[in-house]
Structure 1
């Protein structure tokens, strides 16, 4: 036990040199894995900023007109800046929503296009597959005109056998020569 404790303290006393981001990440993971029972706190994202609604009615604000006291202008200026900031925030928020909506629409469009391409290729593959199946299932059919030409080129005995085979199967021969 004492040797183990000495080794751990010696390792802890070594200065840890972080050379790059990988070392930093490794160090953080090792620290987390030393005590796996300890809950890890994951910070939440930034809260969305919201401004209070505009005041319904502002009393005793003279603005910069004649008859305003020296302190009234500062109140007017403060309220004006507050209102301008609120309007700017609303415009920025609407711009952000517009961009987000456009982004989502573009993503949906890209998904739709990808699906169409995939469906088209899938149909082409299936069509090709079915043609191959039909070709494999279909027995080779000999065309009568080709068989007559080949039989004429053979000896007369062979042609007589073919004619008798065809007549037995209720086929008629075509002599278009």
Structure 2
């Protein structure tokens, strides 16, 4: 803290060090059984501890790789699903856009086909000032055909 302008170096995370490969096992160690020398048990205990540490490291490494693979598969699946949703929405937008474009073309075609009235020809401009009016919904008044078909089905 003597020099606050000096950059602070933050060390990287320590990586797991792989244990040493196992040495050749000493087969003449008797462990804690009778007949062993006074130092043989300590040698046996050291060899056993290193072997357990090595086995633990191998299991942890395998588990980590399995979790990484599972995560990558899940990430790939999510990416694929997102792409499918995007494609579906894109198709929906394009369909809507084409439908609106066809509607405008049809509307403009009907307006150009419509003969001009006397008032429109004299003024030279339209009342809507370039605004496309909303399409009117037509309600079908003829229900007699529908009713007659229902009576035929009932008989």
TM value normalised by structure 2: 0.59
Alpha-carbon distance between aligned partners in 2 of 1:121 and 1:77, rounded to the nearest angstrom = 65
Aligned partner of 1:74 among 27, 42, 52: 42
After superposition, the CA RMSD in angstroms is 2.5
State the shift of 1:58 in Å.
3.0
Alignment of 1:25-40 (within 5 A): 35=5
Unmatched segments (≥5 aa) in structure 2: 112-155
Instruction: Give the 3 Å change call, closer, same or farther, for CA 42–80 of structure 1 in structure 2.
Output: closer
1:140 matched to 2:103? The reply is: no
Alpha-carbon distance between aligned partners in 2 of 1:77 and 1:57, rounded to the nearest angstrom = 12
Give the corresponding residue for 2:51: 83
- 2:13 match: secondary structure: coil
Unmatched segments (≥5 aa) in structure 1: 1-31, 142-177
Alpha-carbon distance between aligned partners in 1 of 2:46 and 2:81, rounded to the nearest angstrom = 52
Higher percent of residues as helix: 1
- 1:53 match: secondary structure: coil
Structure of higher RCO (CA pairs closer than 8 Å, 6+ residues apart): 2
Rg larger in structure: 1
* Count of residues in Structure 1 that have an aligned counterpart in Structure 2: 107
State the shift of 1:137 in Å.
1.8
Alpha-carbon distance between aligned partners in 2 of 1:105 and 1:77, rounded to the nearest angstrom = 42
Aligned partner of 1:113 among 81, 85, 88: 81
Alpha-carbon distance between aligned partners in 2 of 1:66 and 1:41, rounded to the nearest angstrom = 55
